[in-house]
Amino acid sequence: MSARSTAPRTVVHFSDSEAFGGTERALLQLIGGLDRARWRPVLFHAAVPGATQLRDEAVALGVPAHAVPHANRPSRGIAGITPLVRALRQERAMVFHAHQIWSLSCRYGIVAAALARVPARVATAQLFVEMPPLLGIDLQHGLLTRCLHRHITVSGFVAERLRSRFAVPASKIRIVPNAAAASVDVRPDPKLRAELTEGGTRPLVLTIARLDAQKGITHLLDAAASVPNAFFAIAGDGPDRASLEAHASSLGITERVRFLGHRRDVPGLLAIADLFVLPSLYEGLPLAALEAMAAGIPVVATAIGGTSEIVRDGETGTLVPPADGAALAAAIARVLSDRERTTRLASAARALVQREYSVESMVRSVSAVYEELLGE
């Protein structure tokens, strides 16, 4: 067998995200887990400050990272795609893998990959955002589907929406769920817990989410106002932080709610939490919830999309209707008061993640998609 046939094949991972969140963490899990004897991952990322963490963590994994100017908005229209085509050819990409945070993200990269004739072109849809048929979205999505060989979706919910909303053929869709890294037992830090609870013994409710409308944090704050015996810690940043802090102030709960900003000590935060809450209005398959479940932390979440595929009400967690602060408050209070039931659900959740949502399984499934396409 020739050296050429045994050389690792280059996979260009493309992200036009301007922030760091679950999609970017899932991307890093994938490129970190790929067999380097078979695959050579390369990252193309947006040339924006918000992509710094993604770039730095990719480089720490030994992955070359290249900033792509105007990844979201080529400066000269379609002509602005030409440098992308050239870069893909220079990398001799065999696989192009876009990581989408909404239905039309990464579109310029996807078109460039088709023009560069990359042999295998896939896109992972992390979310499905309901949008009216305006501004030619159906036409644009149809073009992307023609440019792609496969859509990878992180949940059955996202797969169904691609089929029903955009008429993507089932033959072009593969479901590969997000994954949680094997849980590492982290010793709770009493100083960190004391910092977030003023040294008291009241329960600590944790949320890890980007601070924008999708995550439903407004409704979490409404619920917090009705659960006076608990402290709430919200890790994450985003465009709505100032308005959410103002809302907490208007509710008179600022002494019990901590906005922690962007954090890199998620395992440490999970280790000191009594409950994890995710009040999102829509999700693909939330990585934050998977990580809480893997850590054995009880979960309360909203009954939406892919979330309900992992947080199964009464089995692995507690579900409430979205955008309902009263129902969320009642669920939080109930979970905090029923330790025996809560422990049972958290144990079942941890077992589910270990059994069905491992990083190793996710990497194998994505690699199989690459192999399938290159074999074709």
Q: Count how many residues are written for the chain.
A: 376
Looking at residue 2, its pLDDT comes to 43
Both tokens of 65, joined, read: 């990272």
**Given this model, what pLDDT does residue 131 score?**
79
Q: Please give the pLDDT value at position 71.
A: 67
The pLDDT value given to residue 3: 42
Distance CA 332, CA 278 (A): 11
Integer Cα distance of 65 and 57 in angstroms: 10
Return all residues near 47 (Cβ < 8 A) that are at least 6 apart. Answer: 67, 68, 69, 70, 71
Q: In what order do the strands lie in the sheet with 299-302?
A: 257-261, 231-235, 204-208, 275-278, 299-302, 318-320
Torsion angles phi and psi, residue 217, rounded to 5:
-65, -30
- 323: Cβ contacts below 8 Å, ≥ 6 apart: 216, 219, 281, 302
Point out the residues of the chain with pLDDT beneath 70. Answer: 1-5, 70-79, 134-135, 183-184
Measured CA distances, 365 to 43, 153, 283 (Å): 20, 12, 21
What structural domains and CATH numbers belong to the chain?
A: 3-179+358-375 (3.40.50.2000), 190-356 (3.40.50.2000)
8-state DSSP, 286:
-
Q: Using CA atoms, how far apart are residues 159 and 74, in angstroms rounded to an integer?
A: 29
Average pLDDT, the chain: 94
pLDDT at position 117 is: 98
pLDDT number for residue 72: 66
CA distance 42 to 24: 14
Q: What pLDDT does 6 receive? A: 78
Check residue 188 and give its pLDDT: 94
For 87: left if phi > 0, alpha if psi spans -120 to 50, otherwise beta; the answer is alpha
Residue 184: both structure tokens together? 């590492």
Find the helix packing angle between 22-33 and 52-60, rounded to 10°.
20
CA 234 to chain centre: 17
Q: Which conformational region is residue 168 in: left (phi greater than 0), alpha (psi within -120 to 50 degrees), or beta?
A: beta
Dump the DSSP string for 49-78.
GGGHHHHHHHHHTT--EEEETTSSS-TTGG
Q: Which amino acid is at 25?
A: R
Phi-psi domain of 167 (left: phi exceeds 0; alpha: psi -120 through 50; beta: other): left
Structural Rg of the chain based on CA atoms: 21
What pLDDT shows up at residue 5? 54
The half-sphere exposure of 120 on its side-chain side, counting CA atoms within 13 A, is 20
